[in-house]
């Protein structure tokens, strides 16, 4: 357990789950190139979104992918800096495009064997269909679920630590980053427009330096 000698009394923020939202510069122009690339890849592989054995997108030497790779690295570095990690961390980015058409969604899941996960939104629907007998009021959103089991057993109003979920309606150009163990659900696309995103994992290249210090118990 990490020691915190500078905290002797007061309120401690224990077991926080950190999320990051970032809008990379230049996204509008690069998104046009990414849309072209993803559509080319889908023409070559009609099962692109569900083909988990497809080649890793970030292994491509393509100007738009190179830009996106740089932006993911910047985002991860900012995230680690915010956590207070002050030593070198080495990682590999693995990623894949998702093309969601009308009615498409992704079940609740997390990303095993990864340290962080994220999504960059390339193209988002601007319209939605009016459907009868449909109660989903959050089309095209992504919802994250509190990873602490039983935390909602006793919650009171205005306590920010007991909300069981966090929902985002992304816009094109938004990048989200979160711990890979967090379960998340992608709501159905209820538009005739396609939703295009690129999801990625941050897989650590292991070093013994990553092992937490085994400090004394807090008195």
Phi-psi sector, 61: left (phi>0), alpha (psi -120 to 50), beta: beta
Tokens, residue 192: 């005739």
Phi-psi sector, 20: left (phi>0), alpha (psi -120 to 50), beta: beta
Domain boundaries, the chain: 20-130+137-207
Measured between alpha carbons, how far is residue 155 from residues 145, 150, 182, 183 in Å? 15, 11, 20, 21
Phi-psi sector, 134: left (phi>0), alpha (psi -120 to 50), beta: beta
| pLDDT of 195 above 80 | yes
Q: Which helix (H) or strand (E) holds 34?
A: helix 27-44
Of the candidates 115, 128, 123, which has an alpha carbon nearest to the alpha carbon of residue 174?
A: 123
pLDDT value, residue 204: 95
pLDDT digit string (tens) for 78-107?
999 999 999 999 999 999 999 999 989 999
pLDDT digit string (tens) for 150-184?
777 777 778 877 778 899 999 999 999 999 999 99
pLDDT value, residue 92: 97
Taking the complete model, does pTM exceed 0.85, yes or no? yes
pLDDT value, residue 10: 83
Of the candidates 120, 100, 125, which has an alpha carbon nearest to the alpha carbon of residue 200?
A: 120
The CATH classification number of 20-130+137-207 equals 2.60.120.620
How would you classify the pairing of strands 195-204 and 106-109? unpaired
Taking a C-beta distance cutoff of 8 angstroms, is the pair 204, 115 a contact? yes
Of the candidates 163, 167, 159, which has an alpha carbon nearest to the alpha carbon of residue 146?
A: 163
**Residue partners of 7: CB distance under 8 A and separation at least 6:** none
Taking a C-beta distance cutoff of 8 angstroms, is the pair 23, 175 a contact? yes
Rounded to whole angstroms, the Cα distance separating 93 from 175 reads 14
Mean pLDDT of 125-141: 80
pLDDT value, residue 1: 45
pLDDT digit string (tens) for 29-63?
999 999 999 999 999 999 888 887 788 999 999 99
Q: Token match 């709501």: residue? A: 187
Residues paired with 195 in a beta bridge: 100
**Residue partners of 208: CB distance under 8 A and separation at least 6:** none
């Amino acid at each position: 357990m990490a020691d915190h000698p500078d905290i002797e009394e007061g309120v401690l923020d224990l077991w926080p789950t950190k999320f990051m939202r970032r809008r990379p510069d230049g996204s509008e122009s690069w998104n046009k190139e990414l849309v072209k690339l993803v559509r080319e890849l889908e023409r070559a592989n009609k099962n692109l979104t569900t083909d988990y054995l497809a080649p890793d997108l970030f292994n491509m030497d393509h100007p738009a992918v190179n830009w996106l790779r740089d932006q993911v690295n910047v985002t991860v570095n900012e995230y680690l800096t915010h956590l207070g990690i002050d030593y070198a961390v080495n990682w590999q980015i693995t990623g894949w495009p998702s093309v969601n058409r009308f009615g498409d969604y992704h079940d609740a899941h997390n990303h095993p064997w990864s340290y962080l996960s994220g999504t960059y939104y390339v193209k988002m629907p601007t319209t939605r269909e009016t459907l009868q007998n449909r109660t989903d009021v959050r089309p095209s959103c992504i919802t994250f679920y509190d990873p602490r089991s039983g935390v909602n057993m006793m919650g009171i109003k205005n306590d920010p630590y007991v909300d069981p979920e966090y929902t985002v309606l992304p816009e094109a150009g938004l990048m989200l980053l979160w711990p890979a163990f967090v379960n998340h659900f992608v709501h159905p696309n209820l538009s005739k427009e396609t939703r295009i995103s690129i999801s990625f994992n941050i897989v650590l290249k292991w070093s013994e330096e990553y092992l937490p210090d085994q400090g004394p118990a807090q008195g």
